[in-house]
A and B are shown apart, each in its own frame.
Chain A
Amino acid sequence: MYAAFWRILPGPWWVRLFIVLVLAAAVLYALFFFVFPWVAPYITPGEVVVE
C-alpha cells in the first residue's frame, strides 16, 4: 500500500521524500488540531464538577 503510494509519487527520491514529509505534517496538523479534539470527549473521561 505504502510502497504503491511511493511509486506513484513523481520525481527523484528526494522530491518524493519532501512530498511525503509535507503530507505527513499536514496529516499531523489535522489530527492534532481537529480530529483528536473532536474524538477526545468520546474516549477519555475528565469530570471536574460536583453534582
Chain B
Amino acid sequence: MVDKLYRMVGVTQKRRPRATFTSVLGELLLTAGVLVLLFVAWQMWIGDLIIGAQNNERGMEYSEQWAAAPPPEPPPLVENPDNPEAPPVFQPPILAHPEAGEVFATMLVPRFGADFQVPVAGGVTREITLDRVGIGVYDESRMPGEVGNFSVAGHRTTWGKPLNLIDKLRLNDAIVIETPEGWYTYRFRTLEYVTPTQVEVLADVPGMPAEQAQESVITLTACSPMYSLAERIIAYGVFEGFQPRAEGPPASLTEGAV
C-alpha cells in the first residue's frame, strides 16, 4: 500500500543506510574536532567570562559579609610618616599571613572596572590559589600596610584573567586591598618586565634585596607577553594609607578611575 503510494508520486523508498565502522569513526572524529574548538573558545573567551564573573561575585560576597559584621575597633591615630605637620593617620593593622588558599582579602582596582573585586588568598600555586581563588600572596610576602613588600601574583590570561589589564595601569591608579579591618590603598607607580627567575622583584625594597625597607610597597606579578611563559610583567605601587571599616570606603575607591 505504502510502496504503491510512493511509486505513484515517483519516490522510491530509501533504504536506511547501515552504520559502518568508518561512519562511526568519522562521526567520533568530527565530535572530537568540535570538542577541541569548544575548548579553545572556552580557554580564550567563554571561560574568562564565567570565571571572571564568579571571582567578582565571590569577592563581593566577602565584602558584604565583612560589612555586615560589627566593624572592628579602629586602630590608633599616629603621626603621618611622610609629613609630621599633616593630620595624623590611622596605623594600619598588620594581619597574620594567610594559609594557602585561605581568602583574607579582596583586591579592588578601579582602573580594571567598577565591578572588579577579586578574592586574595595565601600561596601562589595554581591548583590551590591562582586557578581557584584569583590573586595569590607569595609566601615571603609582607602583609598589607607592613613596612616592606606585599607581593602577589595573578593570571593575566585565562582563569578569569584578574590581572589582564595590568599594563593599562596609569600613574597613581588606586590598588585597594579590602579586609575585614578596612581598606589598604596603594598607588600604582611603575611597570617592569623581567625574566621568570628575577625573584628580587619580591624583595622588601624591590630589586635591592640587601636594602633595609623604609616604606610599604606592593608588587603584582603576571605573565608576559600574554599567553607566554617567556617573561613576567611586574607592577609596583606604594602604600598611601589605611581606612578603618568604621569610616566607610576610602576616597581612592569612591572617586573611581580618573
Contact = CB atoms under 8 A, between A and B. Distances in A.
Contact of A44 (B153, B158, B163, B199): B158
Interface size class on chain B is 35 or more
A8 interface: no
Interface string B17-48: 10100011001100000010011001100110
A26 interface: no
Interface string A1-45: 111100000000000000000000000100111001101110111
A51 B155 CA distance: 15
Most buried by B among A36, A39, A45, A46: A46
A43 B163 CA distance: 21
B202 interface: yes
13 contacts: A1-B28, A2-B27, A32-B42, A36-B43, A41-B126, A41-B131, A47-B196, A48-B153, A48-B163, A49-B124, A49-B136, A50-B198, A50-B234
Interface of B: 17, 19, 23-24, 27-28, 35, 38-39, 42-43, 46-47, 50-51, 124, 126-127, 130-131, 136, 138, 153-159, 163, 194, 196-199, 201-202, 221-223, 229, 232, 234
